[in-house]
Chain A
């Protein structure tokens, strides 16, 4: 049953402040066991990476044919997830979709966490990470790898700025209200709120800068995933040699990003008791958005597979057969049905856009998205243009070793750890944007 209450401005603002700061109060020990589990997973991952450093890439299952394995597919997945930040804090913001305001901060936090983990995982994939400095010293602009380094750095920078700029007024609120916080937190709020008092001049600058950043981040966000797709499409491999790969990656990323937000919304609203802000209505909106993004992704999927499947030329044809009917068929169809078609079917109905069904769908979409990247990266490498007879069996098959799985799970855990840390440190829903301006229309709050 939904009752609607009208609050007076002051009352409303006070309630907003109280609710949204609640999880930052010192006596709240939200998710300590969760953090412990994450740290344990990361430690296992670090041990696996130690083994990889000690013995070389031979501890992975990457061999002659499959030279890019689960690390790279996971990298593509994490980059995809990071696109969510720009989706909410710029695309939806600029299109004046006010319903998405409570989600901007979460999305920016997730974006930063994902992009940091993506950069770590790409270094893990390198044979000689100790020479990463060579990329800076001897970098050659013609290499897609360098484009990726440049764009990831740029995106990370803009994302951090985007998060930080919109955070300043909230940090000032934290500084003023959270007087019994631990000392380092108080210091953090004080220093990083850079003397914010909400004067008209400060507000003016803030709006200008955040508008500029939200415009700037769009091309960079599209570029980051398009450049990632170019790592593949600039080669001559079956399944990669496609002009469709850029939009195919970007659309898939936006869809995965929307799914991540739905999952995050669900957990944050339950863990931090924010049902009044992350409302059922918001889930409904997100469901519709996910349907739209899934349809776009479906369109690019058809584009990606129809042409080659119709022509069935040489190795490209073998690749398609392997995906559709061969050893990757079960994975491929599970991904396409549960990760793409099912969400569209379920979420067009109103009952499908309730929080719990949405959570299940978003998990399916994310699993689908992860395995889809696996299907993009690995099968292509197993179809060389010049097949050799009697090659070692390890060339033809690729099943990640435990070290690779451990590092992959550690990257997820790292991502979640960064998110948890930031959620525990910052107001997870923008307070100043949720509060009303003086003399504005009274806001309705579903209770």
Chain B
């Protein structure tokens, strides 16, 4: 089993509903976010293209944050989800420095926090909060080891990319183009 997320850049309207849902679901402190919206413009006026992405932790297979964690607080949980065990985290911030995606932040309580793919919801058979609220169903979450899952089908039929693949971290958030 390997959880992954695919985000359809053609469907995403950049409404930030996913951000709000995440903050509510995970009780993210005010002023922080575990996911965020990026609007990248390509080209120069008047020949412009706009790519909207909902970004978050990429739950890398070869995660540099997990590698450099001194206490094992950052670890790979079931389904390849990268998690931070809050009670073990000493707040040294080595993982923040090593993450190419800037997916992590220091929680006001001193530990490091980040996206969990809503593992607590996934365990109950629910979708992550961000996916569940997406008004254009631009986000697909599922198991890429299962050939019949929605995400596997989407990745099979659509052109897609990952962010900064050159970092060699094997990210598992895909962007459908």
Interface size class of chain B, counting residues whose CB lies under 8 Å from the partner chain: 35 or more
Listed from nearest, the 10 A-B pairs whose CB atoms lie closest are A127-B91, A127-B110, A145-B70, A128-B110, A143-B70, A67-B96, A138-B71, A134-B71, A235-B98, A128-B91
Asked if A138 and B64 make an inter-chain contact with CB atoms under 8 angstroms apart, the answer reads: no
- Binary interface encoding of chain A residues 122-139 relative to chain B, with 1 for a CB under 8 A from any of its CBs, else 0: 000111110110110111
When chains A and B are docked, how far (Å) is the Cα of A56 from the Cα of B55? 27
A236 at the interface (CB under 8 A from B): yes
Asked if B90 and A67 make an inter-chain contact with CB atoms under 8 angstroms apart, the answer reads: no
Q: Which residues of A contact B (CB under 8 A)?
A: 56-58, 62, 64-65, 67-68, 125-129, 131-132, 134-135, 137-140, 142-146, 149, 231-232, 234-237, 381, 384-386, 388-389
Asked if A67 and B106 make an inter-chain contact with CB atoms under 8 angstroms apart, the answer reads: yes
Q: Which residues of B contact A (CB under 8 A)?
A: 36, 38-39, 55, 64, 67-73, 87-94, 96-98, 100-102, 105-112, 163-164, 167
Asked if A139 and B71 make an inter-chain contact with CB atoms under 8 angstroms apart, the answer reads: yes
Asked if A132 and B36 make an inter-chain contact with CB atoms under 8 angstroms apart, the answer reads: no
Asked if B164 and A145 make an inter-chain contact with CB atoms under 8 angstroms apart, the answer reads: no
Q: List 7 A-B contacts (CB under 8 A).
A: A127-B90, A127-B107, A129-B90, A137-B71, A140-B69, A145-B69, A386-B38
Asked if A140 and B70 make an inter-chain contact with CB atoms under 8 angstroms apart, the answer reads: yes
Asked if A384 and B111 make an inter-chain contact with CB atoms under 8 angstroms apart, the answer reads: no
* Chain B hits for A67, CB < 8 A: 93, 96-97, 105-106
Give A392's nearest chain B residue, CB to CB: B31
When chains A and B are docked, how far (Å) is the Cα of A231 from the Cα of B92? 11
**Chain A: minimal CB distance from B76 (Å):** 13
* Chain B hits for A57, CB < 8 A: 91, 106, 108, 110
* Chain B hits for A384, CB < 8 A: 102
Given known A-B contacts A64-B102, A132-B90, A145-B70, A58 and B164 have beta carbons under 8 A apart: no
* Chain A hits for B163, CB < 8 A: 386
Asked if B68 and A143 make an inter-chain contact with CB atoms under 8 angstroms apart, the answer reads: yes
Given known A-B contacts A62-B106, A65-B102, A138-B71, A128 and B111 have beta carbons under 8 A apart: yes
**Chain A: minimal CB distance from B40 (Å):** 8
* Chain A hits for B105, CB < 8 A: 64, 67
* Chain B hits for A62, CB < 8 A: 106
Given known A-B contacts A128-B89, A388-B36, A389-B38, A144 and B101 have beta carbons under 8 A apart: no
When chains A and B are docked, how far (Å) is the Cα of A134 from the Cα of B69? 11
